[in-house]
Structure 1
């Protein structure tokens, strides 16, 4: 017996195959019909859209559910403006915790402060009254820790990146981060992950790519969020980022052995691997893999039938990864590499040669346009770290799209918020006009691009026979050629601070099931 059918009518549909469509019929989790209201077939239920816009739902191609949930429910430091404000926030948060609890916070970004001095480990001890404190920087690649937190592993003091001040980077940070995340019970993990996925659904996201791996999270964390996939929540596609661990990734339920498999670190922590030194601190960052290791990992992926991938931000790290693809192609052949749709996360500093490598080997670029909005241009963090020229060349989504690189847009939440229309606008409003995408290209990369990255090529469109996965929107700024108006008509107002109001999600539907309804608690 079939499930009840539902007719959505009286709206505007983003349906390039039928631009005049105002209604769609959902039956058994799929779109059964698309067309005009007057031609609509009978249905068991009818939903009046009242002029709302219906589009394919978004896919966030890079997120961290636990970190996102902890930011939503815990100590959110994204708005603090100084070290003193961090200490005040820690003291206020710790006051409500048991004496043996850990203070977990996320999101501080000293590059945006007028006075960038950071609190010390001992100051954090006093603010938290002796509790362990782990405060992740917004990039997730370093953290401020109390002495109690650093003492949780005696070996951390001997690792690269350790600093008695409490700002840990590199291997020392990875070790202490594992301890911090490992301190949560399974019930706590489930609670914060559910909060993250509910929030994703409330902004029109129907699927997320969870990027996990040693140094980011652990096996239990990944399996916990995978267990929530599609249970009245967005679907979760997991990636496990560990070298030569394709079989392990498959056994964990991941779709790929990649995601947070680090070829380098991050620009904010000055650990991204560059070919030329940072401007505000000597050194070129850190590369964590060789071309030979990249090759061997891709061969391991091929042996186990898994998609692979790497986190690579700096141009030197991306160059290493592309060189590894070239070595792997000698054994596997180019077409076999292309068929796997291996990924690179972030891909922020590209050259013509590495972009060409992405095209040749069919690499999917999993990118975050909000990085440019928050840190790009001539006056923000990238300019301080890299200089204006390299800052304006960063996050080259336009150059990649222009030569056929497959793009999948995401947030890297909690590094940047779950804000899909904001990401589309950021791609349209890149600080460098040469790197801007059209609204249609950016939207496609945040919908079909995310599905294609997990080999689901029939998803992300409103056509008969496709999965009924879509979102319903209020569009306060109006609709233009099927998509919401996202940028101001006044050229001077466009950019990171564009005042144009973004669409508001009214309903999110995943394979015919409503996973979010406006007016209900996310």
Structure 2
């Protein structure tokens, strides 16, 4: 039997799109050992034993998704994913939680993801009291579709050691009821702390789920992708363990992988990390968050939000963010920054200019 990794195949009878920079027509393509070895007119094609006629089909280069939260997509397989279930009310959310609770083992938290209050009739997230009524003796934790907000019940709150009078943090706050008690919502860094402390997935099972999602990406024509923030979902070290398991598993990955690590240059150095480049596995970028999200009214703006007031804010003090960008660039890392508000975008652009000018 021929070894597919070393086999030579001629694909002909096709409309082949080379690239945006090369519009020359082509009707045949030679693949050798899994790589394109020749492309051109069918009449000039090299001879080979195996020929496949594509019958006029169109052939495109593989797609690259340069910003994907693959870890979140895989984790959704283990949680109650509201984006696919599409509830239209708080009652619908609670009903889906009750129906899906059986997938979690005895004593395990009931966890859901991708909830979007803008698609609910009430135009708000479920409250702690509503989750308590449905699950009085079991922890419940939901993740807003953006990943920047958490919703929890009292059992989860107590399990995490969050006191009723928990203070807001630097660029992180809790939602509060009229009497000042926590309403069960947490935003930005307050939510991040919850997700990093809550029970996480089994690393081996998570690695298998990611491989399955990579296979789905390949079937959609995506042959390379970048995980846009290792650490954004449950923390860098827990996520990195899963990725290393995936990398060390038998057999090649179905797509080429790139990674942005949600670490500062100092945190990367403390873990012994340095920029690495490879044909199928590249980790050369550090990812920072300048501000939050428009939907949560946490983006850093120059003018107040028209509906709720306030101009959002920065995750880190502006001077510190500029220094972290400078340090990462000086250490040889590529730098990526999440910035959604106009004030944040302007500050990041200025910080990039400063770092590049000093290089």
TM-score tier, shorter chain, comes to: 0.7 to 0.9
Within a 5 Å distance, the mapping from 1:20-419 to structure 2 comes to 20-78=25-83, 79-128=86-135, 130-155=137-162, 157-160=166-169, 161-163=173-175, 164-180=182-198, 183-216=200-233, 217-225=235-243, 227-228=245-246, 231-244=252-265, 245-247=267-269, 248=271, 250=273, 255-259=283-287, 261-332=288-359
TM-score by length of 1: 0.58
Residues of 1 paired with 2:68 and 2:304: CA distance?
Answer: 29
Deviations, residues 247-290 of structure 1 (Å, cap 9, x unaligned): 3483596623433x211111111111111111222211121134
**Local SS of the residue matching 1:299:** helix
Deviation at 1:200, TM superposition (A): 1.3
User: How large is the Cα RMSD of the aligned pairs?
Assistant: 2.6
Q: How many residues align?
A: 330
Deviation at 1:77, TM superposition (A): 0.5
**Aligned 8 A contact 1:8 1:47 in 2:** yes
Give ranges in structure 1 of 5+ residues lacking alignment: 333-522
**Local SS of the residue matching 1:166:** strand
Residues 1:14 and 2:17 are matched in the alignment: yes
Q: Following TM superposition, where does structure 1 have runs of at least 4 consecutive aligned residues deviating by more than 6 angstroms?
A: none
Cα distance change on mapping 1:249 and 1:149 into 2, 3 Å: farther
Q: Which has the higher contact order (CA 8 A, sep 6+)?
A: 1
**Aligned 8 A contact 1:246 1:306 in 2:** no
Residues of 2 paired with 1:25 and 1:226: CA distance?
Answer: 34
**Local SS of the residue matching 1:266:** coil
Partner residue, 2:279: none
Residues of 2 paired with 1:331 and 1:31: CA distance?
Answer: 40
Deviations, residues 311-344 of structure 1 (Å, cap 9, x unaligned): 1111111122122224334532xxxxxxxxxxxx
Cα distance change on mapping 1:22 and 1:257 into 2, 3 Å: closer
Cα distance change on mapping 1:313 and 1:73 into 2, 3 Å: same
Q: Answer 1 or 2: which has greater strand percent.
A: 2
Deviation at 1:307, TM superposition (A): 0.8
**Aligned 8 A contact 1:66 1:196 in 2:** no
Deviations, residues 168-190 of structure 1 (Å, cap 9, x unaligned): 1022101101123x522212321
**Aligned 8 A contact 1:214 1:241 in 2:** yes
Cα distance change on mapping 1:38 and 1:18 into 2, 3 Å: farther
Residues of 2 paired with 1:215 and 1:113: CA distance?
Answer: 26
**Aligned 8 A contact 2:330 2:355 in 1:** no
Cα distance change on mapping 1:150 and 1:50 into 2, 3 Å: farther
- Greater Rg by CA: 2
Deviations, residues 24-81 of structure 1 (Å, cap 9, x unaligned): 0011333211122333222243333232221111111111222101224531111222
TM-score by length of 2: 0.82
Residues of 2 paired with 1:28 and 1:57: CA distance?
Answer: 17
Give ranges in structure 2 of 5+ residues lacking alignment: 176-181, 277-281
Residues of 1 paired with 2:46 and 2:358: CA distance?
Answer: 55
Cα distance change on mapping 1:131 and 1:327 into 2, 3 Å: same
Cα distance change on mapping 1:207 and 1:272 into 2, 3 Å: same
Within a 5 Å distance, the mapping from 1:462-477 to structure 2 comes to none
Residues of 2 paired with 1:179 and 1:86: CA distance?
Answer: 24
